[in-house]
Amino acid sequence: MSKFLIVGLGNIGAEYHHSRHNIGFDIVDFFVDQEKGYFAPDRLADRAEVKWKGKTFICIKPTTYMNLSGRAVKYWLDKEKLLVDQILVIVDELALPLSKIRLRPGGSDAGHNGLKSVFEHLGTHEYPKLRFGIGSDFPKGMQVDYVLGQWRQEETPIVKQKIEKCAEVIRMFATIGIAKTMNEVNKLEFGVSTS
């Protein structure tokens, strides 16, 4: 396989910029930027195409809002004539601590509105997902504010470290495959060294 659809989930609009829920956007932005690519408005998404080591990455940031993300994923999957195992969907994950990322070849939407929409349009949960742990450090009833909120100052060094690693995961996924990549990244613990 030499072509992949890399999907960063998020919400359009300045008020969501760099929020926890928009980490998918931030990761694909970082990846495309590293490869000297650029996003341009396209059908249902901002789209960039970058090439690296003989692989082509179609990177999209759906412009449909999170709960309709599946429309963009399905459209670009069909347009690029790709199979579901050639997609990588990148999302924020409340159930994972900030110190973790998790790559899986499938798995449920775990209540994530973006993934729910992808399931509705693809009809399967069995497609690769990269979940970026955002933790769940918020008072009862404050989940929405937390998810849509900005990173705390003390979190930003870890977030930056993880974004860089996630860009590496995209390349690994395309070159060594999902199983080997999972072995390497799912056990990692991110944190700021105190030395």
In this structure, are residues 46 and 61 in contact, taking their beta carbons and an 8 Å threshold? yes
Token pair belonging to 3 = 């072509």
Measured distance CA(71)–CA(58) in Å, rounded: 16
For 85-117, the DSSP string reads GGEEEEEEETTS-TT-EEEES----TT-HHHHH
pLDDT higher than threshold 90 for residue 193: no
pLDDT of residue 194: 43
Token pair belonging to 58 = 């179609």
Q: Indicate the pLDDT class of residue 195, thresholds 50, 70 and 90.
A: very low
In this structure, are residues 131 and 101 in contact, taking their beta carbons and an 8 Å threshold? yes
Q: Name the residue with higher pLDDT: 63 or 1.
A: 63
Spell out the domains of the chain, with CATH numbers in brackets. 3-185 (3.40.50.1470)
Place of tokens 């072995």: 183
Measured distance CA(124)–CA(117) in Å, rounded: 11
In this structure, are residues 20 and 93 in contact, taking their beta carbons and an 8 Å threshold? no
Dihedral sign, CA of 153, 63, 91, 52? Answer: negative
pLDDT, tens digit (0-9, with 9 covering 90-100), for 46-85: 999 999 999 999 999 999 989 999 999 999 999 999 999 9
Write down the pTM of the prediction. Answer: 0.96
pLDDT, tens digit (0-9, with 9 covering 90-100), for 8-34: 999 999 999 999 999 999 999 999 999
Catalytic residues: 21
